[in-house]
Amino acid sequence: MGCEMRNNVVVTDGAGTTQRGGRHRAPRFAAIAVATGLLAGFAVMGVAAPSAIAATTKPLTAVSLTFDDTFSDQLNALAIMSKYKVVGTFYMNSGRVGADGFLTVADLKNIAAAGNEIGGHTVSHPDLPTLSVDEQKRQICNDRVNLTNWGFKLTSFAYPFASSNAQTEQIAAGCGYNSARMLGDIKSRFGCTDCDYAETTPPADPFATAALDEADNTWTLKDLQDSVTNAETAGGWVQLTFHHVCANNCDSLSVSTTIFDQFTSWLAARATSGNTHTKTVGQVIGGAVKPLVTGPAVAAAGPGQNGVVNPGLETTASTGVPSCWTTGGYGNNTAAFAPVTPTHSGVKAEKLTMTNYVDGDGKLLPTLDLGACAPTVVAGHTYSLRTWYNSTAVTQFAVYLRSSLGTWRYWTSSPWFPATAAYTQALWTTPAIPTGMTGISFGLNLFRNGTLSTDDYALYDTVGAPAIAGPVVAAPTPQIAPPVSGKVEVAPPGDATPPK
């Protein structure tokens, strides 16, 4: 996933283009100046330049193999790298650790025990510059805290989608990292024709280090080798980025174990045949492990306060979806969302139209984030969920919880509410929030063909919650629950382009 969207990259390509000119050309001129100075020095001393040195001493080249996104098939890379005694840097999303298809804490410990570096890649892989400063701090700093609490030393960071700006760079530094990696800023047949073949050591900007385009299933063994040999001419630092490493083209963003084995074997031998050495990013950048910094916490709404942000859906994001809300759902169906009138109050309400229903559901939810949008909750408390709706089919609240690590998962669903033509208030009180859970997201869903309009959401701690106003459909007699799944598709894995 991702490479087919490469032509649509805006943030990654745009940021890289603006930075390329000065950042990568200046060091090249500096290198020429040094070489000229040396030759001049020999001339002044009246001694012939020792040509033997030029013939045999190759410039120093460092190669860092980096792995993004916490995919469990990166254990295939670990096995190959261990075989050839090569180390690299694995950038983790701590909120994914232990989830289906992702590495576990035990895996991370095995990776680190083999001499590899564990780096940070945010809690849940958002497009950072689209978030508030505080939310970016929670994503970057709390990920570093999570990984450090598992026993790792965190000095290196990589931006999801290689999406960054000056402010995001400052936040990465403020969270205690020593460097942060971009993508697509090194020349190859895949792009960046006006770039250099290598990053400088030290990099001009350690919080925007240049790397090749991410390797995908169109990369050949020769492409990987070329990325190294091209750099060896002048030396410097080559960062290669992998996502999936698997036997049989398991993803467009994959490299085969066969190619990876051949390349790693070849690369290991470059240390003796040339002057090319494989290093972790932390080994290249150096520096001490800085103290932990925790992102700003978001307090739960007080008694009688509605915890929902943009509860009336009156503010709309550039994506067309209400600000701080996301269109969720899963399964085989077509769920379409659009503003609708009449509203319950104000000028905006949102309509879900479900067609082609086979299974799964569709729903509008407070964005599953680290607290900027999703309400904060207190373990042990119960919450009153309220929404005004009209619909042509039954509906129910689907409820998700965020753990203290920042991981979202499905929790529970309310009983069904009946179809109703006039705006009616759906009301349900949750069970007590389990220990270790810090955030909530909820929405009415559709799990059959029909329409559902919603407006004026509320979430209150049941202690101090205001009295119910207007017609209410309290949770009716429980019925057999439909197959609500834990899955909510938020962002596609991969770093080629931000989620739409």
* Contacting positions for Zn ion (CB under 5 A): 68-69, 160, 495
What is the C-alpha separation between 216 and 493, in angstroms, rounded? Answer: 13
Q: Which is nearer to Zn ion, 162 or 437 (CB)?
A: 162
Q: Which is nearer to Zn ion, 135 or 495 (CB)?
A: 495
Q: Which is nearer to Zn ion, 68 or 461 (CB)?
A: 68
Q: Which is nearer to Zn ion, 190 or 383 (CB)?
A: 190
Q: Which is nearer to Zn ion, 107 or 495 (CB)?
A: 495
Q: How far is the CB of 98 from Zn ion (least distance, A)?
A: 17
Q: How far is the CB of 19 from Zn ion (least distance, A)?
A: 19
What is the C-alpha separation between 226 and 120, in angstroms, rounded? Answer: 28
What is the C-alpha separation between 109 and 95, in angstroms, rounded? Answer: 16
Query: Can you give the length of the chain in residues?
Result: 500
Count CB neighbours of 135 within 10 A.
Answer: 21
Q: How far is the CB of 70 from Zn ion (least distance, A)?
A: 9
Q: Which is nearer to Zn ion, 68 or 199 (CB)?
A: 68
Whether 72 and 49 have beta carbons less than 8 Å apart is answered as no
Q: How far is the CB of 423 from Zn ion (least distance, A)?
A: 42
What is the C-alpha separation between 377 and 299, in angstroms, rounded? Answer: 8
Alpha carbon distance, N-terminus to C-terminus of the chain: 14
Q: What is the DSSP letter of 381?
A: -
Q: How far is the CB of 69 from Zn ion (least distance, A)?
A: 4
* Residue 382 Cα to chain centre, angstroms: 31
Q: How far is the CB of 82 from Zn ion (least distance, A)?
A: 23
- The helix/strand/coil state of 380 is coil
Sign of CA pseudo-dihedral 419, 424, 430, 436: positive
Q: How far is the CB of 141 from Zn ion (least distance, A)?
A: 18
- The tokens describing 73, both together, are 């098939």
What is the C-alpha separation between 409 and 400, in angstroms, rounded? Answer: 6
Q: In the sheet that 350-355 helps form, which strands lie side by side, from edge to edge?
A: 334-339, 350-355, 450-461, 383-391, 420-429, 472-474
Q: Which is nearer to Zn ion, 160 or 311 (CB)?
A: 160
